[in-house]
Amino acid sequence: MIKKHFLHLRSIFCSAVFLMLLFLTTSATQAQDKTIVSGIRFGVHKEVTRFVIDLNKKTKHDAFVIRNPYRVVIDLPKTAWQAQSNLPPPKYSLIKNYRHGAFKPNIHRIVLDAKTSIDIKKSFYLPANKTGKHRLVIDMVEAKGTPKALRKKTITKTRPVQKTKRVANKKPVIVIDAGHGGIDPGAIGVGGVYEKKITLSTAKMIKETLEKSGRYTVYLTRERDIYLKLKERRDFAHKKNADFFISIHADSIKNKSLRGASVYTLSEKSSDKVAEALAKTENKSDLIAGVDLSDEVQEVTNILIDLAQRETMNLSSKFASMLLKKLKGDIKLLRTPHRFAGFAVLKSVDIPSILIEIGFLSNRNDARLLIKRSFQKKFSQSLLRALDTYFESQKI
Ligand SMILES: [Zn+2]
């Protein structure tokens, strides 16, 4: 009886240990198994469109093409999706849109909608970089004939992607940068008004206006009277995964009769210098949308960075002219309102950026106007309409 009881206890003990071990192993495996996607991006190099997925570890994946219409599908195991990019694929890429979501309990599916017949040239892992991220790379080209990567099963038998999230339909992120601040007052206007004060109140008004529309997520580089370096302003936009960066300023000039707003984008000439400087930095591959540069020669590197920046510059210019169209009639503009310069604050390789001089503090009328809430409101509304037009045009 006692012996039997003892045996019984022992078996309970054993099962408990067994269960505990089982629990520990399972949870350990689970933690280890968890796949995390921390970033995604596109790159275009000649005829190749590259899609890069940042992962915490090398993961088994399946990548294939389905037709009618042409799509590239990438299946990953169950995934914690932490990627925040909501940028549309670049204009010259083979992809027009993308989405992702849980396809089956253990499969996370990414679907890239192609503009044309498409094939997967190759897919491979780049060795983990300094941050420890593994990068799964899918290189795609236009298909000549039947794609090699075509999934044999017909798509009619495939279940539709469930709970998909249209990444490209996420709210665009806008970073508004109030120029100057803290020890740097910027221009001092007629009547003693500081540029740093006007830029901040205008930036706040823009934020309020854009957020009220419900269509944008807006961040300000500064919300107080503090000094920020230009690089800090750019880095802030990167950290926030900005889709557009807008820096607000108010000009001052000797000629006190000059008034009106102007919009600056980065010029070709200064951007070449930026490209040069960037090419020298180590982390260059991460700068241009995942086009891996590790084994490219210096000259090609320069060209690639230049291309990435040119695409950004084109978008910036496109927006600048859209904005000027909306501002025209609403507020006074300079005679040649679209200007090009090498402002450091505009030198983001992959975020379209503009700098707006909303007027001249050296002009009595402008100085009086620029501090008015009614003016700032009118300006913000024009900006909102321009952003709407811009992001609408980016969807196609
Ligand atoms: Zn300024």
- Mean pLDDT to the nearest integer, 354-368: 93
Asked whether the predicted pLDDT for residue 347 surpasses 90, the reply is no
Which has the higher per-residue pLDDT, 291 or 96? 96
pLDDT in tens, 11-67: 445 455 545 544 444 444 444 568 888 888 888 888 888 888 888 888 888 888 877
Instruction: Say what the pLDDT of residue 272 is.
Output: 54
Q: What's the 350 CA to ligand 1 centre distance in angstroms?
A: 23
Residue in 101, 79, 74 with CA at minimum distance from that of residue 33: 79
| Whole-angstrom distance, CA of residue 7 vs CA of residue 19 | 18
- Average pLDDT over the chain, rounded to whole? 79
Supply φ then ψ for residue 378, to 5 degrees.
-60, -45
Question: Ligand 1 centroid to 134 CA: how many Å?
Answer: 41
Q: Which of 157-171, 307-321, 344-358 has the lowest mean pLDDT?
A: 157-171
Q: Which residue has the higher pLDDT, 376 or 273?
A: 376
Residue 75 burial (10 A CB sphere; 0-12, 13-18, 19+): middle
Q: Token pair of 25, please?
A: 């192993």
282 or 230, greater pLDDT = 230
Phi-psi group of 108: left, alpha or beta (phi > 0 → left; psi -120 to 50 → alpha; rest → beta): beta
Residues 285, 278: Cα–Cα separation, whole Å = 10
Q: What is the mean pLDDT of residues 244-249?
A: 94
Instruction: Tell me the C-alpha distance between 135 and 200, whole Å.
Output: 40
Give the pLDDT score at 84.
73
330 — pLDDT class (breaks 50, 70, 90): confident
Of 392, 311, 344, the C-alpha closest to 93 is: 311
- Cα of 222 vs centre of ligand 1, distance in Å, is 14
Question: In angstroms, what is the span from residue 318 Cα to ligand 1's centroid?
Answer: 23
What is the torsion angle, in degrees rounded to the nearest 10, for the CA atoms of residue 233, residue 234, residue 235 and residue 239? 100
Nearest-angstrom CA–CA distance, 238 and 348: 8
* CA 4 – ligand 1 centroid, Å: 88
- Under the banding of pLDDT at 50, 70 and 90, the label for residue 155 is very low
Would the pLDDT of 344 be above 80? no
Contact 93, 44 (CB under 8 A): yes
Segment 242-267 shows an average pLDDT of: 88
Is residue 70 very low, low, confident or very high in pLDDT (cuts 50, 70, 90)?
Answer: confident
- Bridge partners (DSSP) of residue 328 are 331
Using CB atoms within 10 A of its CB, is residue 368 exposed (0-12), middle (13-18) or buried (19+)?
middle
Task: Return the pLDDT at 9.
Answer: 46
Ligand 1: centre distance to CA 330 (Å):
22
Strand-pairing partners, residue 101, are 109
Residue 10: CA atoms inside 13 Å, Cβ hemisphere, count? 6
- Of the candidates 73, 142, 123, the one whose C-alpha atom is nearest the C-alpha of residue 103 is 73
Phi-psi map region of 220: left, alpha, beta (phi>0 left; psi -120 to 50 alpha): beta
Which of the given ranges, 82-96, 177-191, 254-268, has the highest pLDDT on average? 177-191
Amino acid at 316: S
**pLDDT mean over 277-285:** 47
Three-state DSSP at 298 gives helix
Q: Ligand 1 mean position to 214 CA, how many Å?
A: 29
Higher pLDDT, 282 or 334: 334
When pLDDT is cut at 50, 70 and 90, the band that residue 5 belongs to is very low
Of the chain, the percentage scoring pLDDT greater than 70 comes to 74
Residue 140 DSSP code? E
> How are the residues of the chain apportioned to helix, strand and coil, as percentages rounded to the nearest 5?
35, 30, 35
Q: How far apart are the first and last CA of the chain?
A: 81
- Spell out the long-range contacts of 365-374 with Cβ–Cβ below 8 A and sequence spacing 24 or more: 365/259, 366/250, 366/259, 366/260, 366/332, 367/189, 367/190, 367/191, 367/193, 368/191, 370/189, 370/193, 370/198, 370/202, 370/250, 371/193, 371/197, 371/198, 371/201, 373/201, 373/205
Output the six-digit token pair for 21: 């071990």
Q: Which is more confidently placed, 100 or 359?
A: 359
From the CA of 178, how far away is ligand 1's center (Å)? 9
Q: Per-residue pLDDT averaged across 269-298, rounded?
A: 50
Contacts of 37 (CB under 8 A, 6+ apart): 53, 54, 55, 76, 79, 80, 81, 82, 83, 108
Distance 227 CA to ligand 1 centre (A): 13
Q: How far is the CA of 12 from the centre of ligand 1 (A)?
A: 76
Strand order in the sheet with 261-266: 217-220, 173-178, 244-251, 353-360, 261-266, 333-341
Q: What is the pLDDT of residue 288?
A: 47
Q: How far is the CA of 240 from the centre of ligand 1 (A)?
A: 23
- The 10s digit of each residue's pLDDT in 95-130 is 988 877 776 667 777 888 888 889 988 888 887 777
Domains along the sequence of the chain with CATH: 34-169 (2.60.40.3500), 173-394 (3.40.630.40)
Count Cβ atoms within 10 A of the Cβ of residue 125 and give its class: 0-12 exposed, 13-18 middle, 19 or more buried: middle
C-alpha of residue 184 to centroid of ligand 1, in Å? 10
State the average pLDDT over residues 197-204: 97
φ/ψ of residue 27, rounded to 5: -70, -35
pLDDT at 301: 62
296 Cα to the center of ligand 1, angstroms: 39
